[in-house]
Amino acid sequence: MFIKNAWYVAATSEEIAEKPLARTVCNQKLVFFRNVAGKVTALEDFCPHRGAPLSLGFVRDGNIVCGYHGLAISDQGKCAGMPGQRVGGFPSIKRFAVEEKYGFIWLWAADAETADVSKLPVLTWADSDNWAYGGGLYHIGCDYRLMIDNLMDLTHETYVHSSSIGQPEIEDAPPQTVVEGDMVVTSRHMHNIAPPPFWANALRLNELDPTALCDRWQICRFTPPSHVMIEVGVAYAGRGGYEADDAIKASSVVVDFITPETDSSIWYFWGMARKFKVNDAALTATIREGQGRIFAEDQEMLESQQRNLLANPERKLLKLNIDSGGVQARKVIDRLIAAETK
């Protein structure tokens, strides 16, 4: 089950160029393309003539042309022409509301007429020259809620990411979880510790001492339908921690847009926004590469977990104090889905 009255990241802007893009979101097969004005359109990926996927066709004069028999469909979902045929009486296909913002293509999963642009998230880092961003996309075979669980409980870093961002001190710092309306915030602060390899390198890249003892923080914020923003970083120990001056810390926002594809697969748009050396493109690429390796480790674990759960549907899972962020996020999801289905 998915929240429908919400915006999901369906693609990045650069993914939709001359050719149509096929993508399934919330179990709905879609085709994305640009009209003559360059505006992105999303239609159901279904030709009303013989049911072929429109995504196997091509774009011509702002219409998408079916690659089977040449039926052209406009950006409004209406049949616009076909060789040797009159198409005025052909049925239209469903159109979905989309918005292009922050370099992403946002899809409203419910009926287009209900789309509420005011519900698009505000990404301050994406609108500011004081931040740099680099990211990527993974297709992962797991329930979207498993990824939310993963991101709201970073205890797993000690084990899954032991060579990069994990360290034993994470387990020694109990997380604190609060619910603020539809937002769930789980935070963890560590003090006077050695930075793990990823953060030691970040300090070095920010021209700071990578061997210095540090205070470290992880602040995970879940917002519906399935977004998690995580403020992370390290600062010289005893100098203010999270509130420390930018000159003595390396910090960033880990960006996680988790878009359900099916009940057991997701499109995972990941990235990192940072406030230091924002004009250094090589640094952005280096961080992106390192972050990509970290998320690849999550992928292996999550897909294995999904297979186990599907093979053992009767098994009940334990809920510990470290799971509070994910548990509360699921409660928000369940409440909003229930409200939509009344």
Enter the CATH code of domain 125-340: 3.90.380.10
* pLDDT greater at residue 125 or residue 87: 125
Reported as a pLDDT band with limits 50, 70 and 90, residue 82 is confident
Average pLDDT over residues 224-240: 96
Q: Which two tokens stand for residue 216?
A: 């470290």
Q: Where are the domains of the chain?
A: 7-119, 125-340
Report which of 319, 302, 313, 24 is spatially closest to residue 150, judged by C-alpha positions.
Answer: 302
Report if pTM > 0.75: yes
**In the predicted model, what is the mean pLDDT of the chain?**
93
DSSP state letter for 82: B
What pLDDT does residue 15 have? Answer: 97
Single-letter amino acid, residue 337: I
Average pLDDT on 182-211 reads: 93
Is the pLDDT higher at 206 or at 248?
248
Contact between residue 227 and residue 3 where contact means Cβ atoms under 8 Å apart: no
pLDDT on residue 174: 86
- Find all residues with CB under 8 Å of 2, minimum gap 6, and list them: 26, 27, 109, 144, 225, 260, 337
Confidence band of 295 (pLDDT split at 50, 70, 90):
confident
Return the CATH superfamily for domain 7-119. Answer: Rieske [2Fe-2S] iron-sulphur domain (2.102.10.10)
Q: State yes or no: pLDDT of 199 exceeds 80.
A: yes
Question: How do residues 127-161 score in pLDDT, each as one tens digit?
Answer: 899 999 999 999 999 999 999 999 998 887 777 77
Q: For residue 37, what are the CA distances in angstroms to 33, 45, 118?
A: 11, 21, 23
Q: How confident is the model at residue 64 (pLDDT cuts 50, 70, 90)?
A: very high
The pLDDT, as a whole number, for residue 90 is: 87
